[in-house]
Amino acid sequence: MSKGSGKLRTQIGWSSRRIKDLLEEEEIPKEKEIRDSSDVDELIHVIGTTIHLGEKLSIEIKRIKELERQWKEIIVNDSKELEKKQAIHQQVWRFYYNHERRSRIRGQAT
């Protein structure tokens, strides 16, 4: 096992970035748009897009969980790693909070 968590943190960062990109790039219609649509092909496309997005997110979440498991093993042997992990968790939560806030603001503007 490696001495530190640098490689794991990098991989977690990449997966987090992929999740961020997925959430920002996918254009899933709002519920009202779906309810008001009578175009069957459009609805099938929306369902397919949603399923595909869910699959991609699931892959990244599983990857992050496995990397976190490995990091916990490192933390057991090196308490300094816990401080690094806590700092990263604060950054991640800040991102998700800001992302959620931006999403709500965008939703109010439409």
Say what the pLDDT of residue 56 is: 92
Tokens of 56: 């991609």
Sequence-distant (6+) residues with CB within 8 A of 8 are 67, 70, 71, 74
pLDDT at position 1 is 38
Contact 75, 81 (CB under 8 A): yes
Domain residue limits, the chain? 6-109
Q: Check residue 6 and give its pLDDT.
A: 87
Contact 64, 15 (CB under 8 A): yes
18 closest CA partner among 72, 51, 59: 59
Tell me: the pLDDT tens digits for 1-60? 346 788 988 998 899 899 989 888 877 777 777 777 788 888 888 888 888 888 999 999
The reported pTM is: 0.65
